[in-house]
Chain A
Amino acid sequence: DTGVSQDPRHKITKRGQNVTFRCDPISEHNRLYWYRQTLGQGPEFLTYFQNEAQLEKSRLLSDRFSAERPKGSFSTLEIQRTEQGDSAMYLCASSIRTSGVSGANVLTFGAGSRLTVL
């Protein structure tokens, strides 16, 4: 078990460019979450998947943002036409939906992908 992996760790881009982040969850985890965190704030929920189905999206997720989780494995978060306000740490977390299991529903986070939009 290598934990939750996120790539790239850092991305610097110019305003108007598209960026894509990848998250590889813990292999047996069927739930995957994306959060965004800005300096001095707690993480804000963006979206979550159960297997390959995207079950909830935040109003923060404008039409420039899209997330996918093909085949219920890794996930990608794409931001189109980036704006300076998109600069933040993008965090991915995973958990397993199983009742009665010790540690069930514990969120495990990756190290994050930091985006800087110039």
Chain B
Amino acid sequence: KQEVTQIPAALSVPEGENLVLNCSFTDSAIYNLQWFRQDPGKGLTSLLLIQSSQREQTSGRLNASLDKSSGRSTLYIAASQPGDSATYLCAVRTSNAGKSTFGDGTTLTVKP
């Protein structure tokens, strides 16, 4: 059974700081890993998807890496802004079909 852990549960940083969010998974035989952002009371917005054959993906100030052998992914956010404040969730899919397993997220607060 795939288990996904995100530590820390909450993180507070000053504006402009670079930061890293962590995601760990127990079964390294994954199909893909997707990072999402969730604002309070809202649905999930996809940020980046990394296929199992890839090592990293970049979009703007965001960079996600994947190390299957160690069961880890990181989401790097450069030059953080108050608008980045949200909960960040990672989701791991183990096969082409079927469900994704989510972590409980890291709630990020970026202070002006």
- Chain A residues engaging chain B, CB cutoff 8 angstroms: 4, 6, 33, 35, 40-45, 48, 50, 55-56, 58, 91, 93, 97, 103, 105-112, 114
Contacts and interface: CB of A to CB of B under 8 A. Distances in A.
Given A105-B93, A109-B43, A112-B43, A42 B104 contact: yes
A55 B93 CA distance: 15
Given A43-B44, A107-B34, A107-B91, A55 B100 contact: no
A116 to B, nearest CB: 13
A48 B44 contact: no
A43 to B, nearest CB: 5
Contacts of B45: 109
Given A42-B4, A107-B46, A112-B42, A55 B98 contact: yes
Given A56-B98, A97-B96, A106-B34, A41 B49 contact: no
Interface string B34-70: 1010000111111001000000000000000000000
Contacts of B98: 48, 55-56
- Which one of A33, A41, A105 has the highest number of Cβ atoms from chain B below 10 Å of its Cβ? A105
A111 B100 CA distance: 18
Contact of A91 (B41, B44, B49): B44
Given A45-B99, A111-B42, 5 more contacts: A4-B43, A42-B103, A55-B97, A107-B91, A109-B46
Contacts of A111: 42-43
A33 B43 CA distance: 14
A105 B96 contact: yes
